[in-house]
Amino acid sequence: MTTGVESARDARETVVWKFGGTSVGDVDRLRAVAARLVAAQRAGTRVVAVLSAMGGSTDLLVQQAAQVAAAPDPRELDALLSVGEAISCSLAAMAVHELGGRAVSLTAAQAGVHSDAAHGNARLLRVDPGPITRALDGGRVVLVTGYQAVSPAGDTTTLGRGGSDASAIALASALGLRECVIFTDVPGVFTADPRVVPEARMITELGHDEMLQLADSGARVLQTRAVELAAAHGVDIHVRSSLSDEPGTLVRGQGRGAGVDGARIRGVAHLGGDPIFHVPATGAGPVSAALAKAGIAVGSVIVEPSGVRFTAPGADSARVLATLAELGLPGTAREDVGSVSVVGSLATERVSVAATMMSTLEESDVDVQLFTTSPNRVCAHVPAADVAPAARALHVAFGLGADRPLEVGVGG
């Protein structure tokens, strides 16, 4: 993505804040967001706020679309789903005015956010900071709809689930900023999902690569594509709770931790559903190429005499199979599996990490269906019913609930 960067004159006094989750869950929460924005404005800060849709509204719109069409037209579906963020921004602007502040709500098209034409999962192409800069120069809080952009043909597109994160990162980069604050309903990034692993603890700092691996493995705090954008454009991400004053998690550069000779385990992430696909009598190349054209990222890939087994984390199974079938690559999906991953800067110690992970799962009577390793992640596909117990067992095995993570291969 190019940003058409035209650095704001007062970049040091400008912030981009994104509010999602229950931060904008209802009208009362929107009022609280407005109060935060007005306080910042009165303190002399130029504020750009990217808002998600109010709690549950996007799911409701999807359900309504399904009630009138078995297969909604992608263009019209994007036009419908974009309404939720517009409502949030308009209401928040009204609340700012009610508190005596000045604000303007902008759709993505009005804010100069441009994407390709891939409805439902569009990729950002460029951001023209001019409209936002002019509104800031006029003394207004600028409220921008997240999750959406405008195609070359002028149609509304959406950026996939969690796309408001990518919107905020792109705007921060276009405005010449080095940090974007993501306000959400959790205090920060944890060593595991606290709803599954109660002993999980908050991580104070992560590298972009580490956060990318956690997000790709199932940590839902940040959208994977947003982290990719942040890394590519050198934007730090500060994940904070909108409901408390906790310091949160800073995602930047390489983060901190063990050197190249040691393993730094940062967290355990999981996906409750992570199907394993199989395409017979073909190689990995045709499969990866076919899915890439549809914007579907392949995860683990195993080439076997019978064909290719692979995963596509976060992708809809029906869409994966339909995409393959269109190109004459009929496949099947095993739906009763999920995945659990140990993520970190594993460096030369990934063999030790993999061994610890495999032995822990065996001792926990978890049947591993697929096992893959990379320099930053070791991943096991297991029966869906075993995902949560596996995550808890691995969190204990790698000492992630202690004061500091176990450094495998360092000091014993």
pLDDT for 254: 67
Instruction: Please state the rounded mean pLDDT for residues 315-326.
Output: 88
Asked whether residue 5 carries a pLDDT value surpassing 80, the answer given is no
The pLDDT of residue 288: 86
- pLDDT, residue 262, reads 44
Question: Coil, strand or helix: which one is 6?
Answer: coil
pLDDT of residue 10: 47
User: Would the pLDDT of 88 be above 80?
Assistant: yes
Instruction: Give the model's confidence band at 89: pLDDT under 50 very low, under 70 low, under 90 confident, else very high.
Output: very high
Domain end: 127, 160, 185, which one? 185
Residue 247 domain flag: no
* pLDDT given for residue 255 in this prediction: 56
pLDDT band at 375 (very low <50, low <70, confident <90, very high): confident
pLDDT at 139 over 80: yes
Rounded-to-integer distance, Cα 215 and Cα 141, Å: 30
- pLDDT for the residue 348: 62
Residue 156 is predicted with a pLDDT of 97
**Per residue, what are the HEC states of 254-319?**
CCCCCCCCCCEEEEEEEECCCCEEEEECCCHHHHHHHHHHCCCCCCCEEEECCEEEEECCCCCHHH
- Domain presence at residue 2: no
pLDDT class for 79, splitting at 50, 70, 90?
very high
Report how far residue 130's alpha carbon sits from residue 284's, in angstroms, rounded to the nearest whole number: 44
Confidence bin at 8 (pLDDT 50/70/90): very low
User: The CATH number of the domain where 391 resides is what?
Assistant: 3.30.2130.10
Are residues 66 and 157 located together in one domain of the fold?
Answer: yes
Query: Encoding tokens for residue 79?
Result: 């036009």
- How confident is the prediction for the chain on average, in pLDDT? 89
- Can you give the pLDDT at residue 401? 83
Q: Is residue 403 one of the residues assigned to a domain?
A: no
CA distance 173 to 389: 40
Instruction: Look at residue 18 in the predicted model and tell me its pLDDT.
Output: 98
pLDDT exceeds cutoff 80 at 141? yes
Write down the pLDDT at residue 289.
85
Task: Tell whether 216 is covered by a domain.
Answer: no
The residue from 154, 185, 216 where one domain ends is 185
Q: What distance in Å separates the CA atoms of residue 239 and residue 330, rounded to the nearest whole number?
A: 41
* 155 in the same domain as 48: yes
Regarding whether 173 and 29 lie in a shared domain, the answer is yes
Confidence tier at 12 by pLDDT (50, 70, 90): very low
CB contact at 8 A, 400 and 200: yes
Residue 153 belongs to domain spanning: 11-185
CATH no. for residue 130? 3.40.1160.10
Tell whether 22 and 168 lie within a shared domain.
yes
Q: What whole-number distance in Å separates Cα of residue 163 and Cα of residue 148?
A: 7
Are 275 and 369 in a shared domain?
yes
0.75 surpassed by pTM: yes
Tell me how many domains the chain contains.
2
Domain's final residue, options 185, 216, 238: 185
- Rounded Cα gap, residues 106 and 132, in angstroms: 9
Closest CA to 148 of 242, 199, 81: 81
16 and 153 housed in the same domain: yes
In this prediction, residue 178 carries a pLDDT of 95
Render pLDDT for 300-314 as a digit per residue (tens, 0 to 9). 888 888 889 999 987
Q: At residue 406, does pLDDT exceed 50?
A: no
Question: Based on the domain organization, do 47 and 144 belong to the same domain?
Answer: yes
Residue 4 clears pLDDT 70, i.e. is over it: no
Q: How much is the pLDDT for 296?
A: 84
Q: Give the whole-number percent of the chain exceeding pLDDT 90.
A: 68
Exposed/middle/buried for residue 195 (C-beta within 10 Å: 0-12, 13-18, 19+): exposed
User: Per residue in 212-264, pLDDT tens?
Assistant: 999 989 998 999 999 999 999 999 999 999 888 889 999 998 655 433 334 58
The pLDDT assigned to 27 comes to: 94
Could you tell me if residue 195 is inside a domain? no
Residue 7 pLDDT exceeds 70: no
Residues 181 and 270 in one domain: no
Whether 158 and 298 map to the same domain: the answer is no
181 and 303, same structural domain?
no
Q: Determine the average pLDDT of the residues in 266-274.
A: 94
> Is residue 405 predicted with pLDDT exceeding 80?
no
**27-60 pLDDT per residue, tens:** 999 999 999 999 999 999 999 999 999 988 999 9
78 assigned to some structural domain: yes
**pLDDT confidence of 410, banded at 50, 70, 90?**
very low
Residue 142 has a pLDDT of 98
